[in-house]
């Protein structure tokens, strides 16, 4: 089923057609194959191996995504800890919550960062024929 351009990133689909899967195993929690990518799209033949070392840039995306996730937890933590003393005393809870969230979501974030990096560099053609 084709996915629209912006959603193709979230569903880890081909950035060009939104149909083909970027990864060989669609389950991100199959940890032995978390980084195994298809070489090209099965529908539009878009090349997923752009050049050697291309996905190193995905690390920057991963940093941005995980930072944003931790910042999203901050308003919740702030709402639960009004006073300054309480805010600082309970900082370990916030750090622990961030750590747990990042460990649980790490396989998906790794894949998502690669998908975002590829999406930035490949344009989406809605009606591209293979
Ligand atoms: Zn495709």
Say if CB 124 and CB 15 are below 8 A apart: yes
Mean pLDDT per 10-residue interval, the chain, length 130 residues: 72 91 92 92 91 92 96 89 77 92 96 94 61
Give the pLDDT score at 130.
Answer: 44
Q: How far apart are CA 13 and CA 9, in angstroms?
A: 6
What is the 71 CA–ligand 1 centroid distance (Å)? 33
Cβ-based neighbour number of residue 92 at 10 Å = 9
Query: How many A from CA of 91 to the centre of ligand 1?
Result: 45
How close is the Cα of 84 to the center of ligand 1, in Å? 51
Q: What are phi and psi of 40, to 5 degrees?
A: -150, 165
Question: Rounded to the nearest whole angstrom, what is the distance from the C-alpha of residue 43 to the centroid of ligand 1?
Answer: 5
Quick check: 7 and 112 in contact, CB under 8 A? no
| Distance from the alpha carbon of residue 118 to the mean position of ligand 1, in angstroms | 12
67 CA distance to ligand 1 middle (Å)? 30
Q: What is the CA radius of gyration of the chain?
A: 18
What are the DSSP E strand ranges found in 78-121?
Answer: none
The helix or strand, by DSSP H or E, that contains position 6, with its residue range, turns out to be helix 5-10
pLDDT for 124: 61
Say what the pLDDT of residue 84 is.
74
∠ Cα 62 71 122 (to 5°): 35
């Amino acid at each position: 089923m084709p996915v629209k351009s912006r959603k193709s990133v979230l569903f880890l689909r081909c950035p060009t057609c939104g149909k083909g899967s970027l990864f060989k195993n669609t389950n991100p929690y199959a940890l032995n194959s978390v980084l195994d990518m298809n070489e090209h799209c099965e529908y539009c033949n878009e090349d997923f191996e752009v050049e050697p070392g291309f996905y190193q840039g995905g690390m920057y995306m991963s940093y941005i995504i995980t930072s944003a996730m931790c910042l999203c937890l901050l308003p919740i933590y702030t709402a639960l800890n009004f006073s300054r003393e309480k805010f600082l005393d309970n900082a370990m809870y916030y750090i622990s919550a961030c750590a747990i969230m990042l460990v649980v979501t790490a396989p998906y974030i790794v894949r998502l960062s690669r998908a975002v990096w590829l999406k930035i560099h490949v344009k989406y053609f809605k009606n591209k024929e293979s």
